[in-house]
Each structure stands twice: as C-alpha cells, then as structure tokens.
Amino acid sequence: MGKFVIKETATGIKFDLKAGNGEVIATSEVYSSEASCKKGIESVKKCSVGEIEDQTVEGFETKKHPKFEVYTDKKGEFRFRLKARNGETIATSEGYVTKQSCFNGIESVKKNAPEAEVVKI
C-alpha cells in the first residue's frame, strides 16, 4: 500500500507519493503551508484516474484534464506530470530510461494514490 509522505524543505513543505516498496513514484511542488500541501494530496487522489497523453509521439491526441502527460526531458529520459482538472501540475515523476517504465510509474500512481495514507515526517 502506498503512502503520501509530507516533509519540510528549506523553502516550504512538499509531499512524495511512495509505493509499498518505499520507492518514490511522484513528487509535488513546494507549498507554503501544510494545509495547501494536504489539498494537493487530495487533488492527486482525485485526479489519479486521468488518461495518459503521450507527448512523445508525433501527432499525439490531446486528452482532457485531469491527465498524465508523458514527455522526454533534456537528458532524453521519459517523465510524467499529473495535471489537475484546472490544468495545474500537481505531481511529477523522476526520469525513466524507457517509456514502459514511465507507464509503469503512472500505473503505480493510479493504484496507490486513491487509498494512500498521509504521514508527516
């Protein structure tokens, strides 16, 4: 079972969504308050049902929000960002060497986020 881990940073507060094995699946932006961070977590829980928009293929089909956007970064690695219903990015992934690994990360968010407990460290 996954969990959202809330932690303080030098500039605010953020969360990581971790899978049952402890691996970080997705990370949030830095929020100014714990309350806004918790709202972000609720948004991820609700929006994790979104479709996948694969921006790495030419002529990709644009999906409605909420959605997972798959893209390549400057290093050529695959990443995803979860966009909320309002189009805001609410979670991002690490870089993956293969697109399939990136898709596996998205599936892990879909599986873990809705029922994940929230803990603060």
> Is the per-residue pLDDT at 50 higher than 90?
yes
Q: Does domain 3-120 have CATH number 3.40.50.150?
A: no
Low-confidence winner among 19-23, 36-40, 102-106 (lowest mean pLDDT):
19-23
Across the range 9-26, mean pLDDT stands at: 96
Is 116 in contact with 2 (CB distance < 8 Å)? yes
Cα 46 to Cα 40, 41, 76, 81, distances in angstroms: 10, 9, 30, 15
Separation between Cα atoms, residue 57 and residue 14, nearest integer Å: 31
Please give the share of the chain, as a percent, with pLDDT higher than 90: 99
For residue 59, what pLDDT is reported?
Answer: 97
Confidence of residue 34 (pLDDT cuts 50, 70, 90): very high
Is 26 in contact with 18 (CB distance < 8 Å)? no
Tens of pLDDT along 85-115? 999 999 999 999 999 999 999 999 999 999 9
Global confidence as pTM: 0.95
> Is the per-residue pLDDT at 37 higher than 90?
yes
DSSP structure string for 109-121: HHHHGGG-EEEE-
Separation between Cα atoms, residue 107 and residue 88, nearest integer Å: 20
> Is the per-residue pLDDT at 1 higher than 90?
no
Tokens standing for 66?
């909420």
Please give the share of the chain, as a percent, with pLDDT higher than 70: 100
